[in-house]
Amino acid sequence: MSDDYRTERVRPTNTIQALGRDFPEGQRRHLPPHAYEAPGQKSPHNPDDAASVLGLPADQISPQVLQALLPLLSELDRLRWKERQSDRRQSWLEQQSDRHSVVPCLTRRAFMRETDAFLGGGGHGVVGLIQVAGVEALRQFHGLAAGEGALRHICATIIGALRTTDVVGCLGGSDFAMLMPGSDEPNARAKLAEILAHMAEPPFQWLGQRIPLQPAFGVHVLQAGEGAEQAVAAADRARRGIY
């Protein structure tokens, strides 16, 4: 799948994780940078500014010509400022669409795009899927903050055990997918089993109470010609014991 319409490629997991550190809890940015910024005061225009517009040497710009061009130069300044602001907004929106709103990993859309790009480039590796039962019940009993805390515990355990070249995405709820380039099935199974063991010890706690989580995983070796949706579906079937 082509991503030519984007100004930037999908950010890898380690970059998304660093972005999450830039906006700690309680300080997340929900508006584009400089959303309400007014154009700054620019220094008075000089003959060089007019020369750059007319394509003439600066010494041929008389004070009368410069004065006549001032409205045009001011409008050019305004348009350039609007363009810079538009570029910042677009970049910010793309980052927001790729970054999960709660945990420092990719969204489902970004993960699928990254996996499709990897498959389109002929890459080989494994897609893993971890589904953690009990998060929804925790959210219903202890509230939204408890559920989000469990998701952060799960995501931190996953990211902390993987390489920076691996890609992690939250597919929704408590389902996490991992793209592990260059890995094979035995190594991927061993790594996911290690992650599940780390989720249990140390356990997730909420208000001093140990909260049992019930994770399960499945792995799928990437095949030539398949897409991201097929790979994730195959990993999910393996998680459920359906081959």
C-alpha pair distances (Å), 225 with each of 107, 132, 237: 24, 30, 19
Distance separating alpha carbons of residues 194 and 131, to the nearest angstrom: 15
**What is the value of pTM for the model shown?**
0.68
**Cβ atoms < 10 Å from Cβ of 230:** 15
Which residues are bridge partners to 125 per DSSP?
Answer: 181
Tell whether 167 and 229 lie within a shared domain.
yes
Distance separating alpha carbons of residues 55 and 241, to the nearest angstrom: 71
Q: Quick check: is 219 in a domain?
A: yes
* Residue 127 structural domain: 108-239
Tell whether 77 and 148 lie within a shared domain.
no
Residue 12's pLDDT is 52
Work out the mean pLDDT of the chain and round it to a whole number. Answer: 82
Q: Quick check: is 17 in a domain?
A: no
Q: What is the pLDDT of residues 154-211, one digit of tens each?
A: 999 999 999 989 999 999 889 999 999 999 999 999 999 999 998 888 888 888 888 8
Q: What is the pLDDT of residues 96-150, one digit of tens each?
A: 678 888 898 999 999 999 999 999 999 899 999 999 998 988 988 999 999 999 9
Nearest CA-CA partner of 110 in 7, 13, 223, 188 = 13
Given a cut of 80, is residue 1 above it in pLDDT?
Answer: no
Given a cut of 70, is residue 18 above it in pLDDT?
Answer: no
Distance separating alpha carbons of residues 106 and 168, to the nearest angstrom: 6
Domains in the chain: how many in total? 2
What CATH number corresponds to the domain at position 193? 3.30.70.270
